[in-house]
Amino acid sequence: MIKYITAGESHGKGLTIIVEGFPTGFPLSEDYIQEDLARRQRGYGRGGRQLIEKDRAELLSGVRHGLTMGSPISMFIPNKDYVNWGKVMATEPVEDPGNTVTRLRAGHADMPGTIKYGISDVRNILERSSARETAARVAAGAVAKRFLQEFGIEVHSHVINIGGVRSKYEHPVDWEKANASEVHCIDPLAEAEMIKIIDKAKEDGDTIGGAVEVVATNVPIGLGSHVHYERKLDARLALALMSIQACKSVAIGEGWEAADLPGSQYHDTLEPIAEDGKAPAGPYPTASGPWHRATNRTGGIEGGMSTGMPLIARFTIKPIATLAKPLPSVDLVTGKTVQAHFERSDVCNVPPAGVIGEAAVAFVLADAFLEKFGGDNIDETSRNFNSYQKTIGPRSWVATDG
């Protein structure tokens, strides 16, 4: 239903984003998109690049007088660092463009990229495979987030693990607390330990990975479908999240723990809501429908469809492949043993990964939402959504006479 495409190299002129397929008539502004771009740049463990950039997406098309027009939304985020890379990254031929990179980094796209594309300068691969591209994804995701907001759907995230230090938390999560934390973690004890681990990695010239959790609330029942692999909401989320640079695994809800528990302890049983219409107390009091679940291990998805419970996706980020104390490697041209390439990098990229994960989840949800409710104009989408929401309940409750 909707799609986006990004273009741009890490040290080129900037990042271009085209977002296509959203209805006309909902508000969108550069300032709104800016909020998530700024959140992506924050986080303990970031390197020198974030001191140079002040990411802001200029809206070039698809929005008029503050409202979407239904036409492709195009944006441009300039790379401020380009002034330092004009010769190396020039689009026109230049004399003496500077040193080529031939020392491969294990864990990055360097080796398979150079072999696949038949090139001898790693820069042609590392520039595009850099996580700088995630700024463009966050801009695209912000459009989806703004659209979902029209229907009360919110997408947030927090860090649940850095270098093996796990956050102790319960749902519902206090998102303001997560945003206020330097490592985007709501558990102050874990936060202090995570900061220590990042400091230690920096001292050692090392890098450190972790895991984040993305939560979408007020997702209606029935986004996605059970009928085909590519229509399953969990499969679509897995693709969107796994494609984030450095992501190594994705789980929906307690997907990693599912291997450990018997069915009697794993599944989120349905209970009717009391006669007074109130949901029982518990972590998920806002049941969507005349039922309630005390647990949400399946992360709000059953059979590839949303259940109306908070949608929860977790993913891990491996430690960044560019180490200040480089790993032993091989030179692409000479085949000789060398130390891997190091230019500049982050020590830990886990806090910004949450913001990028939010963008990925929001885009999938907006796509599935438009697939179900359609509409060329936001009012049309709202009418379709509201009329469906009235049908939710046991079949005997559903009015058949309209």
Q: Which of residues 161 and 322 has its CB atom nearest to ligand EPS in the complex? A: 322
Q: Which of residues 123 and 372 has its CB atom nearest to ligand EPS in the complex? A: 123
Q: Identify which of 72, 274, 299, 50 has the alpha carbon closest to the alpha carbon of residue 171.
A: 299
Min dist. Cβ of residue 246 to ligand EPS (A): 7
Per rule CB under 6 A, is residue 130 in the interface with ligand EPS? yes
The length of the chain is 402
Q: Which of residues 217 and 345 has its CB atom nearest to ligand EPS in the complex? A: 345
In 73-174, alpha helices (H): 110-117, 123-129, 134-149
Tell me which DSSP letter residue 159 carries.
Answer: E
Tell me which DSSP letter residue 277 carries.
Answer: S
Min dist. Cβ of residue 339 to ligand EPS (A): 17
Q: Which of residues 64 and 344 has its CB atom nearest to ligand EPS in the complex? A: 344
**33 Cβ contact list (under 8 Å, min separation 6):** 57, 59, 75, 139, 142, 143
Interface residue with ligand EPS, options 74, 307, 349, 381 (CB under 6 A): 349
Phi-psi region of 300 (alpha: psi -120 to 50; beta: other; left: phi over 0): left
Strands (DSSP E) found in 102-246: 154-162, 165-166, 210-217
User: Among the candidate windows 26-34, 68-76, 169-177, 320-328, which touches ligand EPS by CB under 6 A?
Assistant: 320-328
3-state secondary structure of 339: strand
Min dist. Cβ of residue 377 to ligand EPS (A): 36
Please give the C-alpha separations between residue 389 and each of 140, 276, 343, 383, in angstroms, as whole numbers: 27, 21, 53, 10
Q: Which of residues 245 and 296 has its CB atom nearest to ligand EPS in the complex? A: 245
Interface residue with ligand EPS, options 322, 323, 351, 359 (CB under 6 A): 322
By rule CB under 6 A, what string of x and - marks binding of each residue 9-28 to ligand EPS?
A: -x------------------
Interface residue with ligand EPS, options 346, 347, 359, 373 (CB under 6 A): 346
Q: Which residues pair with 250 in a beta bridge?
A: 315
User: Which residue is closest to ligand EPS by CB?
Assistant: 130
Min dist. Cβ of residue 245 to ligand EPS (A): 6
Orientation angle between helical segments 233-242 and 350-373, nearest 10 degrees: 150
Q: Are 179 and 200 in contact (CB under 8 A)?
A: no
By rule CB under 6 A, what string of x and - marks binding of each residue 43-82 to ligand EPS?
A: ----x-x---------------------------------
Per-state percent for the chain, helix, strand, coil, to nearest 5:
35, 20, 45
The secondary element (H helix, E strand) that includes residue 373 is helix 350-373
Interface residue with ligand EPS, options 6, 74, 134, 316 (CB under 6 A): 134
Please work out the total of residues on this chain that contact ligand EPS, with binding judged by CB under 6 A: 15
Interface residue with ligand EPS, options 104, 125, 131, 366 (CB under 6 A): 131
Q: Identify which of 288, 270, 137, 173 has the alpha carbon closest to the alpha carbon of residue 221.
A: 288
Min dist. Cβ of residue 355 to ligand EPS (A): 10
Phi-psi region of 147 (alpha: psi -120 to 50; beta: other; left: phi over 0): alpha
Interface residue with ligand EPS, options 123, 132, 232, 292 (CB under 6 A): 132
Q: Which of residues 157 and 345 has its CB atom nearest to ligand EPS in the complex? A: 345
User: Among the candidate windows 62-70, 136-144, 344-352, 384-392, which touches ligand EPS by CB under 6 A?
Assistant: 344-352
Cβ-count burial of 235 within 10 angstroms (0-12 exposed, 13-18 middle, 19+ buried)?
middle
Q: Which of residues 139 and 321 has its CB atom nearest to ligand EPS in the complex? A: 321
Please give the C-alpha separations between residue 349 and each of 42, 202, 279, in angstroms, as whole numbers: 10, 13, 39
Q: Which of residues 320 and 370 has its CB atom nearest to ligand EPS in the complex? A: 320
Per rule CB under 6 A, is residue 345 in the interface with ligand EPS? yes
- Tell me which residues touch ligand EPS (CB under 6 A): 10, 47, 49, 130-132, 134-135, 320-322, 344-346, 349
